[in-house]
Amino acid sequence: MMPFKCMPNCGYCCTISPVTVFPHEMIILRMLAEDLDVKDLTFKPGYVILDVKNGVRIALSYLMQLNDEGRCPFLEPSTKACLVHSLYKPLTCRSFPYLPRVIRYVIDPELKLVDFDVEFVVSSLCPVIKNNYSMEDLELMSRNVRVAVKVMPKEVNAAEEAIRVRKIYADTLTALWRAGLVELRGGDGNNNNNVNWPLVNAFEYIRYFMPSISLESFVPNITSIIRGLRE
């Protein structure tokens, strides 16, 4: 199979759907939007779990919404350039078209455990994928990560980084649960009996109990990125 290479000045993936981002990424993107004067950045909660001990809903992900023109707020419309490409690009964007097909969370009250399982797929919505790879190619890459990493190493590496980050959230919430600071239950945040509970960002909520957790815990070079942008 030929190596995957994103088509220049395409931007199609920036217009397909809202982008799933991690809680800390939402914070970073808001800072970048302020400095880049991006006005139409909005988020909606994605996957949400409940902390019944403290009466809050915890957002483990967010959906960065397309703007009124049907594109990512960070996509420059005339050049199709990503304004945050060289600053901080969300992991979902960096891994496209190698994306999770399914993310299954396990919220186990007996073990006081937060865990997850991810299955990946290669999206045929990408024009390069659609025009250059067969369905058999896509199925093989989806089943075998060794094949996928040979074809699209940067994208698979970003997907694996997303797994590492997701595990930080899962392991930290598990530790808080076992310490008796939270009591977690599964829930999508929309169809449960506690919809009036406050919604909290998982990164900010974890930091409430563990102030040593910082943006650098997830993105080691984020301080230099923000400092350089503002100088």
Dump pLDDT digits (tens) for 47-99: 999 999 999 999 999 999 999 999 999 999 989 999 999 899 999 999 999 99
Q: What confidence tier does 153 reach under pLDDT thresholds 50, 70, 90?
A: very high
Reply yes or no on whether the pLDDT at 229 is more than 70: no
CA distance 66 to 70: 5
Reply yes or no on whether the pLDDT at 189 is more than 50: no
Q: What's the whole-model pTM score?
A: 0.92
Phi/psi-derived region of residue 198, left when phi > 0, alpha when psi is between -120 and 50, beta in every other case:
beta
Determine the average pLDDT of the residues in 127-148: 96
Q: What confidence tier does 222 reach under pLDDT thresholds 50, 70, 90?
A: confident
- Order the strands of the 199-201 sheet from edge to edge: 184-185, 48-51, 56-59, 199-201
Reply yes or no on whether the pLDDT at 228 is more than 70: no
CA distance 169 to 203: 8
CA distance 26 to 61: 9
Residue 177 or residue 228, greater confidence: 177
Amino acid 219: pLDDT:
87
